[in-house]
Amino acid sequence: MASTRVFATGATRNDDSERIDPEGFLSPKVMAEFFAYMHKNRFRSNGEIRASDNWQLGITQQAYAKSLSRHYWEFFDAHRSQGNHQDEPSPYRNQHLIDLCCAGMFNFMGYMFEELKKPTRQAPTVSEDDLKRMFQRTQLLEDSYRDQGDEDEGYGAGV
């Protein structure tokens, strides 16, 4: 039975320790940077403005993976060039690195979005009777190998 939280006002609610906690999993600062990055990239070179949810129309996972790979190597180079891989990383904010992180987030989320659209594969079900039959067949095979001759030459020889 779940425990009850009692607030100073007297209001009560079930304990929420087992519930998903989106507020704790995300950083508002990181998400604000991501939203700004996404908005900045809505503006196309021909002057058109792309709808913010345009990506949800469908982009192939291959395209996301290729883009992610390009952004990762650019990120890796910037990370190393900035000196952030050392014990004393750069004390200065690098907007280019932040934009590359946002690009990675976009590609990971897009790839995941496409993956989540796929149906879940159902694991084959095996009945208890099927398991018993498989066990019996295994026993029969082991017995027949054993009966074929010397144990040193039969089932499991040399193991």
For residue 108, is pLDDT > 80? yes
How many angstroms separate the CA atoms of 48 and 139, rounded?
71
How many angstroms separate the CA atoms of 79 and 97, rounded?
7
For residue 153, is pLDDT > 70? no
**Mean pLDDT over each residue of the chain, to the nearest integer:** 88
Sign of CA dihedral 77, 82, 84, 88: positive
Once rounded to an integer, what is the mean pLDDT over residues 94-117?
96
Bridge partner residues of 14 (DSSP): 4
How many angstroms separate the CA atoms of 48 and 43, rounded?
6
Residue 103 buriedness (CB in 10 A; 0-12 / 13-18 / 19+): buried
**CA-wise closest residue to 104 among 52, 30, 51, 17:** 30
Judge contact between 109 and 67, C-beta under 8 A. Answer: no
Q: Per-residue pLDDT tens for 45-91?
A: 999 999 999 999 999 999 999 999 999 999 999 999 888 888 888 88
Amino acid at position 47, single letter: G
